[in-house]
Amino acid sequence: MDARVSLGRVAGLRFGAHWSVLAVFVLIAAGLAQGRLPVAHSGHTAWVYWGVGLATAVLFLASLLAHEVGHAVVARRNGVPVDGITLWLLDGARLRGEGPSPGVELRIAGAGPLVSLFLGALFGALAGLFALFDAAGLLVEAVAWLAGINVLLALFNALPAAPLDGGRLLRAAVWRRSGDPLRATVLATAVGRVMGWLLAGSGLYLLFLGASFSGILLAVVGWFLIATATAGGGRAGMGEFLSGVSVRDVMTPIPPTVPAGASVRDFLGGCAGHDPHEAVLVVGDDGRPIGLITAQRAARAVSGEEHTTKLGSVVVPLRDLPTATPDCPLVRLLPRLDASPVRRVVVLSADGAPAGIVTSSDVSRLTTWLSSTSPWPRSAGSWQSRKKEVPAGYAEEGEGDEGAPGGMTG
């Protein structure tokens, strides 16, 4: 199930929110409306407190979005593509890989906390200005809270633990000093796990003392740190394991296609006996891909409607899918593959024509084969000398490789 809720576009990027941020939004609004605001300024009706609380929570999410836009803008200016922004408890900007150098990584990681510090100073100045002109106490309280939370957000994110911004800063520093990005990643993720356990333990201790809200929040943040740092460490190990492997080496070439003008009825008829989760590339009249479709998505999209609907109107559009070139290093593709709504990456040639598809199963089959062979060479040159040993047809076995349903090739 997709945990993201799409919210629109900002700075040319699609953005949405993870359920964790929506939960934090509710907690903040309720905490302000039923706690801080009535205690600091009594005498108002409940709907006034809730109105100010909700507006403050919205501005907090806007501040969080600005933090992530800072990362995304700096990343794009330094040549690192960005797939979009998904606000969640610990991260947001979805970068297509990492910075090509420690300096770029440092600039990308530092942009978010700097934006939060700027917003903290801005809200602080506004709170002082409102107080100077004797504005409503609730307004001053809300703006002062926003100043404090933005400064706290910057400081928290500066902690040297992956996946926080401070973890990326630590990684950049170790990378610059050692010249080894893998070693830097391993260290940053290890510190992230330690920090996560400390936060989770502190949260449980506060919960034991009766501080329910603070204890639960710290424990949840600690758990997220542990989980994401562990996943980051796993990706670092996989990066070493797949060093030198390109997308071309693992993709399913000449993927099955179906024309966008075909009807859903014909498509579903041709899918009989096929895996309903198998994705097929949908192409326009010019042969260029416009998206992916599965039988399950097609059937769900036209539920209760005429199945004469054209496939082009129900596809997962290409703009929402990660894409790559055949010569792209496979390790740079793995995070984007995990984030793909259909767990697939569309491979395009230099002229935009479809060249292949990479699925999670393709990567799993390659890693399984490599794990079963010994010794495993870890350099790009070693892989080039050994890739001819990969069993013929290994990429044609399994998920997504049965051909276009019903022979509906475009």
| Enzyme catalytic residues | 68
Answer whether 219's CB lies under 8 Å from 203's CB: yes
DSSP 88: -
> Residue 165: which residues within 8 A CB-CB, separation 6 or more?
71, 109, 110, 112, 113, 157, 158
SS3 at position 289: strand
What the block records as the tokens of 189 is 């993720």
> Residue 291: which residues within 8 A CB-CB, separation 6 or more?
281, 282, 312, 315, 316, 317, 318, 320, 321
> How many whole angstroms from its chain centre is CA 32?
29
SS3 at position 398: coil
Cα→Cα distances 251→129, 242, 274, 364, 366, Å:
59, 14, 20, 12, 10
Cα→Cα distances 363→345, 395, 409, Å:
11, 9, 25
Which value, to the nearest 10 degrees, does the dihedral of the CA atoms of residues 291, 297, 302, 303 take? -170
Q: Is 310 exposed, middle or buried (0-12, 13-18, 19+ CB in 10 A)?
A: middle
Between CA 68 and CA 140 the distance in angstroms is 26
Q: Which residues pair with 294 in a beta bridge?
A: 279
Between CA 197 and CA 211 the distance in angstroms is 19
What the block records as the tokens of 5 is 């809720």
DSSP 65: H
Q: Which amino acid is at 304?
A: G
Q: Can you state the angle between helices 212-241 and 19-31, rounded to 10 degrees?
A: 160
Maximum pairwise Cα distance, the chain: 78
